[in-house]
Structures are given as structure tokens and as C-alpha cells.
Amino acid sequence: MRNPIHVTVVHEDAIVSAGVAAILGECDGISASLAGEQEARRGTADGAARDCALVVADHATAMQMAGSGPRSTERPPPRILVLTHLDREWDVRVAMEAGVHGYLLQKCKPAQLVDAVRTVHAGARYVSSELALKLADCLMRDALTVREMEVLRAMATGATNRRISIALGIADATVKAHVRAILSKVGAGARTEAVAIAVRRGLTSASLCDAALAPSSVGRGWS
């Protein structure tokens, strides 16, 4: 191969890693190798990832590698393609804003994986089509502020406005204003709907939503 694309696979799932390396290794112009998860997490300039042009990684590893920044001025760090089962719009948005260059779901077809690798290596961003619409929809919405996120996550535990005001050290009226803003921004008509939407978008966890919707939580009230 003349000037092949050197890809290092650093996925947390060993089966996925082996499959990706095998698929890419059969493609003209691409060479693929495996690196251990712990080795990859030490940074993009370390270990087997040091001499590659592109890294295919799971979401957590990719986020850590993107956040570590370049450690050498001699050559640019490899570009990062996320391969994951996480398909919520917030997971995609956070990863892209952190600096990863592509985002692909593990259920993709081999041809889509190869296309993503070539696109990212060429210097462009890549988001699979099924996620692109979610990401576009997310970017079109007004972003929640840090305080609104705190209130939303408190809502997801079933906390009343009074409990939220005490926990965050803000007035009841301020909490109510934040709740109104949250409902408007996420497009919900009620608190329970807002929590469900937040889970679907990845703004809070499903476990918190389950707690909020449990009979004991409902009994405490949603003032």
C-alpha cells in the first residue's frame, strides 16, 4: 500500500475491536492495529496510538483522548472516530464539542465504517445519518443553562420546588422561573414529561427518571 491510512483501534469491547481491525485491515489503503484500553487512555501521543493517523475508540476513551490535547509539537495528534452504542443526542453533541472528529454507531454496516474512516482522515467531520438529525435538532434548541441543568436533575429525583430551592440555595420563585424555562426549552407540558425528555436526550439518567416516577416520589408532590 502506498501511504496507507494508519488506524489504531482502542475500543473497550475486545470483540468490537477485533471486528473493526479485521474489517479495516481488508480495505485497500488502510492498515489497522489494536491497542489496549489502558494504553490508549494514557493519551493520544502515547503507546500504539502515537504513530497512527486516526483512532477508532469507544465513547469514554475518545472523550478522554480528546480532552488530553496534543503532547507533542512534532506532529498533530491522530483524529478520533467514536464507535459506540450511545445514540442520545446529548452524547453526540458533547463528544463533538469535546473535539472528536466523527461519531458512528456500533450497529453500522462495514461499508459505513470504512466511509467514516476515510472521511475523518480526509479532514472532514462525520456523523452517521441516523444521528445527524438528532444532533441538528439539539443544536436548534435553546441550550439549558448550568443552573437549569441543576434544577432539571433535581426534578428527576422527584424533589419539590421547595426542596430544590433549599438544596441550591435559591428562592422558590427563582426555582419556578427555572422550571418554566426548562419546560419551554425541552418542549414539555409538565415536569414528568420534561424528565422523560431529558432521559431520552441524555441530559439526565434513566435511573433518576425511574425514581422520579415511582409511587413514593409522586406522593411527595411535584409542586
**Whole-number Å distance between alpha carbons of 109 and 43:** 29
Per-residue pLDDT of the chain (223 residues; tens, 9 = 90+): 567 899 999 999 999 999 999 999 999 999 999 985 445 444 443 444 556 889 999 999 999 998 765 555 566 789 999 999 988 877 887 888 889 999 999 999 999 999 999 999 999 999 888 787 666 666 556 677 888 888 988 888 889 999 999 999 999 999 999 999 998 888 888 998 888 887 777 766 544 344 333 433 333 333 3
Angle at 51 between CA 47 and CA 57, to 5 degrees: 65
Tell whether 19 and 77 lie within a shared domain: yes
- Domain C-terminal end among 82, 109, 139: 139
The contacts of residue 93 (CB under 8 Å, 6+ apart) are 135, 138, 139
**How far is CA 203 from each of CA 5, 94, 200, 208, rounded to the nearest angstrom?**
36, 11, 8, 11
- Domain C-terminal end among 90, 112, 139: 139
Unique residue bearing C-alpha cell 490508549: 40
Range of the domain at 61: 5-139
The torsion angle over the Cα atoms of residues 56, 62, 68 and 73, rounded to 10 degrees, is 20
Tell whether 120 and 36 lie within a shared domain: yes
Tell whether 35 and 56 lie within a shared domain: yes
The contacts of residue 27 (CB under 8 Å, 6+ apart) are 114
Tell whether 128 and 167 lie within a shared domain: no
- Domain C-terminal end among 116, 139, 162: 139
What's the pLDDT score for residue 110?
95
* Residue 176: CATH number of its domain: 1.10.10.10
What's the pLDDT score for residue 49?
53
Nearest in space to 68 (alpha carbons), one of 103, 101, 84, 44: 44
Nearest in space to 136 (alpha carbons), one of 101, 106, 96: 96
Q: What is the pTM of this model?
A: 0.64
Tell whether 107 and 158 lie within a shared domain: no
